[in-house]
């Protein structure tokens, strides 16, 4: 399953419709790690793994999370916890995030209802 497909920075940028600068910025922030092939080259190269990470980051952004929050999630997501304490910390964090997400979904549903109600009021008014 090891597809050794490599992406240049502008390829990734095009795929996700963002700028190269943005990708470099994410790397600068430690949210992305480019695979500089054997340090022979100075240009960045990305694998499918990075592609997926980028997708994760962008989804997080769309959902209103800050880059810092996203970084925290990804870091935990990819950490390999040694002891029991570490694992418990992760579980705890996950539960916290799940609660936040549920709350967010709930709020979105409320907003949705309100917009629907509002929309209906305008449909009802057939004549001025």
Partner DNA sequence: ATCTAAGTGTACGTTAACGTCAACTTGGAG
Partner DNA sequence: CTCCAAGTTGACGTTAACGTACACTTAGAT
Report yes or no: 61 and 70 within 8 Å, Cβ to Cβ. yes
- Binding to DNA by residue 24, rule CB under 7 A? yes
Residue 20 binds which entry of DNA, a copy of itself, none, CB below 5-8 Å type-dependent: DNA
Residue 108 binds which entry of DNA, a copy of itself, none, CB below 5-8 Å type-dependent: a copy of itself
Q: Which of 15, 29, 35, 111 binds a copy of itself (CB under 8 A)?
A: 111
What separation, in Å, do the N-terminal and C-terminal C-alpha atoms of the chain show?
A: 64
Give whichever of 40 and 117 is closer to DNA, judged by the CB atom.
40
What string of DSSP letters covers 86-120? HHHHHHHHHHHHHHHHHHHHHHHHHHHHHHHHHHH
Give residues with Cβ within 8 angstroms of 47, minimum separation 6: 4, 5, 6, 7, 35
Give whichever of 37 and 55 is closer to a copy of itself, judged by the CB atom.
55
Enumerate residues 29-88 that contact DNA by CB under 7 A.
Answer: 34, 40-44, 61, 66-68
Q: Nearest-CA neighbor of 47 among 77, 4, 2?
A: 4
Least separation in angstroms between residue 9's CB and DNA is: 4
Least separation in angstroms between residue 64's CB and a copy of itself is: 2
């Amino acid at each position: 399953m090891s597809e050794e497909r490599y992406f240049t920075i502008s390829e990734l940028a095009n795929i996700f419709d963002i700028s190269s600068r943005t990708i470099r910025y994410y790397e600068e922030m430690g949210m992305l790690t480019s695979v500089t092939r054997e340090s022979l080259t100075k240009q960045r190269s990305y694998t499918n793994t990075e592609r997926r990470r980028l997708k994760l980051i962008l989804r997080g952004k769309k959902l209103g999370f800050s880059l810092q929050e996203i970084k925290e999630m990804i870091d935990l997501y990819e950490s390999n916890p040694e002891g029991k304490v570490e694992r418990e910390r992760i579980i705890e964090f996950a539960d916290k995030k799940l609660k936040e997400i549920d709350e967010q979904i709930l709020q979105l549903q409320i907003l949705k209802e309100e917009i629907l109600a509002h929309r209906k009021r305008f449909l009802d008014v057939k004549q001025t």
